[in-house]
Chain A
Amino acid sequence: MFAQKRGAKRSSSGDTLQRRPNKQRKIAGASSKPSARDTQRGGPSSATNNKGKGKPNNKGKKSIYDVYEASDAEEEERRVLARRGGGGGSADRVMDLIDNFEFEGVEIDEEDDEELDEDEAFGESDEEKYGMFFDNKSSKKSKPQTSMELDLNEDDDAGEEDEEGDEDEDMDDDDEEYDSDEVMDLSDMLNDGKPSASSSKSTSSKSRGIDDVLLPRDADDDELEDIGEGSSDENEDDDDEEGDEEDEEVDLEVDDEGAEGGEESADLTSFITSLDGRKPASTAPKRKPKKETTEAFEESEYNLPARNTYTNTSTATKLELTDLMGAISGETSFGGLKKQLEGLEKAKKGKFGTASAPLPKRVQDRHEREAAYEQSKKEVTKWARIVKKNREAERLELPTTTAAIPAISSGGLASQFKASTDMEKEVQQILQEASLVDSKAREAEALELNRIDKEELIERRAELAKMRSLLFFQEKKQKKIAKIKSKAYRKIHKKDKGKEDLSLEELKALDPELARAEMEKLDAQRAMERISLKHKNTGKWAKQMLGKHIDTETRRAISDQLEQHEALKRKIRGIESDESESDLADEDEDEGPDTARENALKALGVLEREVEVAQGERPVKGVFAMKFMQRGLEAQMKESREEVRKAMEEMEDEEMGGSEGDSGNEEEEEEDAGAGKLVAQNSGRMVFGGAGGKKGVKPTTTAESEGSDDDEEMDQDTAFSARASGPIRIGASQPAKTVKVDSIFPVQQFELEEPTDNVFIGNANKRQLQPEASDVKPAKQTSKPTPITAKATSFDAPATEETFTIDKRPTRRARGQQDDEAEADNPWLQADDDSKPVKKSTKMVSDKNLGKTERAMEKLARERKSARKAELEEGVGNVQLSLGGIKELEQRIDDVNSEPALPTSKSAPKPAPKPVLRAESSDEDSDVEEAATSKMVHTTELKNLSRRELLQMAFANDDVAAEFEGEKEKAMELDKPKEEDLTLPGWGSWGGTGVQPKKRVVKAPKPGEGVEVEKRQDAKLKHVIINEKRMKKATKYMVPQLPHGFDTLEQYERTIRMPLGKEWNATSQHKEVVKPRVQTKIGHVITPLTLPGSNSGNKRKGAGEGGPKKGNPRPRKL
């Protein structure tokens, strides 16, 4: 312990040293701080304290007043003792040393660590023992201050000769005022107490100057600050900032002086001491010299170094270097040593700077620790990423499963086998003889595995497994497919296969040879089809089926057959039609008798395709882009397709009938006749009335490819069939109003005139027909005045030629009208928009041909328009079903019709209303008309109403808003805080004179009871009623306060929103969701975290990336 202290003292600056004794034992608690501060103040009382503090250290061993005083001298003392074999010192002293030694490294209990009073510490018995050293004790007692001062200086090294000694001797700023007492050295006391030479003072002050140079004040302060309170080898320090401040306050002036220099301070101190009224110790010797001296100086371990050898008197003068080295100055040798001495001398005078003293060990250690701490922090931070990852991991499985240990093959296992029994050995021998043992198998495997790293291996394996599984599934699938017996599937599959192949044209381009072959094949197929009639409903099975009650399955099968039949045929047609139409026509001619039917079929095919095309190109904008419109369209398309199909089928039936009959020519004849018959027979049925205007066009397109003979037939019948569309002729029955149009006017031209109007077909046909149309343009212009026959927009078209002849001008007008109508948006009447084009088309007629009907209609329309405008202006309030106008219209139409329509059929008078009703009127009766007129009235009326009007009509008597208001008011009233009348009827209402009526007893509402109207949650929400009542039953499902870790209630709600149970989740999801965050297995050791790729982990750690690693690949079970 002593050694430690000494070392520490030596290394520290004088500043600290001065304080040390004061703080020696203040380790134990936080309470030490204030006392530390006391000591700094340097007041007399605190000084007493200090002294007390210095002592407990040795309490119990010896009540040493002087342990500290002697502290550093003690070593000297020991040395001397050792030298002298215990002479001079008492036995006690020796024991002390031993005791102290025993104490080394053992902490002192707190109870031992009390502060002791000086008086207690130095008891009577001590005085007896050591009185000799303290002759002045009595005087001390009378002057406690002095003793205290002595104490303060006690750690001056009496025996120190070196600079450090000087430093020690040197005064701290605090203690400067006791400078005078410094002279009263321990050595003085121990010796005769002779006055120390005044020179010592000057030396001390001088060395102080050096001290300042060597250890600048700042450094000192730093160091002081850094000394911990708890460090016990160092003195408890008082240099927390407060202490420092106080310190400075106290020593302000002294500080200044210290800076000025030695002499001044010396002067000052002497001045101060003189103020104190004390005489400097040096001037007042306290002891008389002994009368008799056998030795030059008193025999003591203390006086040896302190003695002035020259004067033979013991003074406080230090042993100087010159004292030791003076002897060699006369010698001739020791040149080197002399030089060194000279250097030292010079350094002392300040010519050369000395190397600065190394920092005290404490400071060095502290720096070292700080650096090490930084380093460790950095080292440890490398784990942060892994730790964070693990903390945030959704699932953590501990111990983590390591990669599977590669399996060892049986060969590998066998190679490890060691034969133990005789039989085994025998077998082994036999095997070896036969060279069947591969002892290296395992090694080879290991080598193979070693070559690649683990990750790669895993990757490879995964890939292999994937491939294998893919193969397996493919195989399985193939097997499954092979097992399928369904013909339908096969068919579809075949088709799919076909799709993948190149089309015939592409093939042609690439390989004409192959294309030829393919075509031949197809041709053969077709021939086969024709011959076998395999897919007609003529087969045995089909007949049977047809005879029976047909269920959907069978029907589908039959229709499939038919489809295939068609498809097979179409294929051929597809190729051929592509080649060229003229070719086709040629062929037709060549083919002769077959042609008519063939052509008809072709026409139907084309028709069908067109329908499809029309379906494909749907309008993107406008009314027809609307969903319901498209739905309607689709339905129509479907219908028409059906129609076409039917027609084709019938044709084929016809053919079949023919083929059934006989061979060759007969057949042909019959066919021909059949075709004719067909046209004739189906004149009524084949009209595509249901499909409306849209369908009307299709036949016209086909007409192009038709021969002119058909036209003649048409003329005869005045029937308008699908096949006979062609350029429309006006029959002989209508000579008055129509000009006969010949075949110079192709249908295309007609269509050209109203492509925009005829929205339905327009899109479908325009593209096809455009180029031709442009050719015809001049012709059209010339023929403008001439009436153009309308195409058949309805089934009764043949009879309505004149009604269809409408001027173009009104068309435009009509369009304007439509626009107006569109303005009055009536959501329920959107469906009627599709009637518009038709309506318009009906108005297409030259000026000349403008019939009365049309004029009447126009007029009516105008009237209606204005009327509606007026209505709108009137406002929506008074909506009434004004049927007047419509009735009028009817009337007029009737009037108009009555004259010119007499010769025509009766369907004539309803061109306008008809389209309106088209949607419903698929019935082809002629008496549609009556129904139509009645319905028309209604729809027209509706059409006239705006959305708002309609809504108002629909909700005529509902006053919902007011009802709601009432409800809300009621709720508010109910929830309001209410006063309660507690008056009991009859009670207190006594009668009689002078009886004052009692006040009503009213219970005021408690605060928090009820909700004020303006404080309601829905106070500002107009359309909402929020229930303010607390639902008691719901409270158990509610958290009383927002749980820790959530910022908002929504956040919390979100975490518990999705249920976890099986009833609400798919099984896999459920399993995943309910897994615990950290999963551990019983009986499996969880090894601490290891850093990936480091060896710091377990000895048997497994490789891999971050995350907790299970170091032990094979955890042992319990």
Chain B
Amino acid sequence: MMSKVVSLSRVSIGRGIACRSISLSAVSPVKKITETTTGSTTIVEATDVPLSSAPKAEVADKPHSCALCRYPVKIKYTDVLILEQLMREDGTVLPKQLTGLCTRQQLRLERCVMQAHWSGLFPDRTIPDFDRSGYKRFNRYWDNDIDMYRTQLKEKPGIWFYVNQYNPRGSLFKPAKKAESAKSD
């Protein structure tokens, strides 16, 4: 019978510096659970994870607790690199408890992530059966995160006059170009 020895987290604030993992470089604030088996004992502990060497964003003199409220710029659906920091690998958004954002920014983030998914800006983070039927196949853009709630119908006069000189529907019957180029490559 294997006995599991669970050691307390190596970094507990009360214990002092001796118990911390010794790393003279900046102490990475993020932990990860790791299991190490030696013989009949398994140690489950939280080890440090070195964060990417990305530069830390500059914070103003009086920082807000919300990571997005600090900056006077509204987040948009095109800010893919910012949205990725607050998303999971499967394309879902982290909850408010983990992002640490205020309600307003959290909802805005969720709306922007939805818009980015609909625009196809996350091709490696979607499910294979993402709904792209009908009008969803065509390109769309948003000026604002609230634009997705504007549901007024707009009527335009239909124009009977048309000049179809270059066979405009011909592209619908052409063989798929991507398949051809993939075969040639």
Chain A partners chain B: no
Q: Which residues of A contact B (CB under 8 A)?
A: none
Q: Which residues of B contact A (CB under 8 A)?
A: none
